[in-house]
Amino acid sequence: MADMYEQRVLAYGDIVGWTEAIEACDNQADYDRINKAIDDIHKYANNFALHTKETISKAVGPNVPLHEYLGIEFAFFSDSFAVSIPADNGYRIFDILSNHMPSFTMLRFSKETLNKHSI
């Protein structure tokens, strides 16, 4: 039986202030801003979904090197995300993370927003 494990680099992140930002929503624009960020992150994660990888692999054919891309795993759940990539390409994890950071920054979890619901 072949070894089923491989060395990978894993990044896990928690979006600090998520609950507080949602509780601080005062109007539809605030909710829309958070929903857009969630949608953007989900769309980005979908780039690494199995069905997307299969579609791209079939479209480009066997002569296009996709090994690095096919090895990327990305998950977004609740107020957290996880990204995994084979250790040989581990340095690329920073590129992957930086590509969706604008979605987090658009949430603008400012000190003022977080203090709005502090006791």
The domain ranges of the chain are: 8-115
- Cα separation, 71 vs 56, in Å, equals 13
Q: Can you give the pTM of this predicted structure?
A: 0.69
Neighbours of 68 (CB within 10 A): 12
Interval 4-59: pLDDT, tens: 888 999 998 887 777 888 888 888 888 888 888 888 888 888 888 999 999 988 88
**Hunting for tokens 């957290």 — which residue is that?**
80
3-state secondary structure of 71: coil
